[in-house]
Amino acid sequence: MTDTVSPDSTAPAEPTVLADLTTIRVGGPARTLVSPTTEVELLESVRAVWERGDDWLLIGGGSNMVISDEGYDGTVIHIATHGIQVTNQTDTTLSLRVQAGESWDALVARLVARGWGGIEALSGIPGSVGAAPIQNIGAYGQEVASALTGIDFLDYDSGELVHLTTAELELGYRSSVIKSGLAGVVVAVYLTVTASPASTVQYPQLATALGVNVGDAVPLQQVRDTVLALRASKAMVLDPNEPDSASCGSFFTNPIVPEHIARGLPADAPRWVIDDDPVTDVAVPLGEEPAPPPAPKPRLVKLSAAWLIEHSGVNKGFRLPGSRAAVSTKHSLAIVNRTGADATEIAELSRYIGACVLSRYGIHLQPEPVAVGVELA
């Protein structure tokens, strides 16, 4: 039985299964569910949960979660706060403080329509604004890190609302200090975007779809429309009329491996060197011998998880015998719930895909969704 309560009420309401709050549509009931809609309610609700010592789980847009069929035996905090505040505006830049519960894509659409650029390639990504910095969302050559200036964060250890800068968040590829274990709640996100009629295209697939070259400038709205079309072609946009839409989006992150491992893959395997050391000039006083150069760092290479999956024998549309979970018919990187699958079936397929890639190429795939009570790898 799930009790659904508002921050200032303890009266139980109708039970709610967590499948209703996740885009992949799996998850059993929570013992208690709270849904604060203002910042004050959010702070009060979370602090009350912490003071009681409850186990707690945060859900925003629910787009990156797989929750067990047994549900969650604790308090689920569904963040539904809304509000966008302009903190500074000049002729060339716009700075915003955005509540965590705002829709990410709605924010992107609003900014693009008004000629503010910097996150247009992140169009169509489901979920809430508060989740964006946790795993540094990115797509088509942009990451939220490029526009993010900081967050307001309710810290679990102190119970205080603190401001964390982008540097303090330690953002990396689909990672942050929060995802690595810093406990607390993202309350608001600070972004700065730029006045620009056009976007510089940075990603080859996007450039091809637009019919331009990488580095060309394209109107913001055209970039957004093309990104949405690309994502829709892969069933990566939430659409109730799309059978492959009930998913977490990309289910696995692209592996990052040392270069010598990438060399062992077939020549047609996509790969991108991500950390070439720049060559720097060193000034040496006359008459002195230069110090020996430092040993070169091993280069890291990003691989395509989709390519690894497909070349490990897991094709689009694949499903285990008797399972209702499947690989998307449009994109091998998505696991979809097309016919009433449960969390157990989603997890079984995830583990199977990981085992196929490991057996074929010796590379571990890392599931991207937050797993609650299930093992995805």
Q: Hunting for tokens 């967590």 — which residue is that?
A: 18
Is residue 352 over pLDDT 50?
A: yes
Is 233 a residue of the active site?
A: no
One-letter amino acid for residue 226 of the chain: T
Where do the structural domains in the chain lie, given as residue ranges? 3-78, 84-233, 256-372
One-letter amino acid for residue 119 of the chain: I
- Per-residue pLDDT reduced to its tens digit, 30-64: 999 999 999 999 999 999 999 999 999 999 999 88
pLDDT at 264: 93
Instruction: Give the three-state DSSP class for 3.
Output: strand
If one looks up domain 256-372 in CATH, what number appears? 3.90.78.10
Lowest mean pLDDT across 34-43, 83-92, 133-142, 238-247: 238-247
- Per-residue pLDDT reduced to its tens digit, 170-181: 999 888 999 999
Q: Are 136 and 125 in contact (CB under 8 A)?
A: no
Is 247 a residue of the active site?
A: no
Total-model pTM = 0.83
φ and ψ at residue 66, rounded to 5 degrees: -125, 115
- Per-residue pLDDT reduced to its tens digit, 59-81: 999 988 999 999 999 999 999 99
Out of 25, 97, 174, 338, the active site residue is: 174
What CA–CA distance (Å, rounded) separates 115 from 138?
Answer: 20
Using CA atoms, how far residue 345 sits from 186, 240, 330, 338, 373, in Å, is 31, 21, 20, 12, 13
Out of 63, 250, 312, 350, the active site residue is: 250
**CATH topology for 3-78?**
3.30.43
pLDDT at 292: 73
Looking at the structure, give the CATH architecture of the domain made up of residues 84-233. Answer: 2-Layer Sandwich (3.30)
- Per-residue pLDDT reduced to its tens digit, 151-164: 999 999 999 999 99
Is 348 a residue of the active site?
A: no
Out of 39, 120, 345, 368, the active site residue is: 368
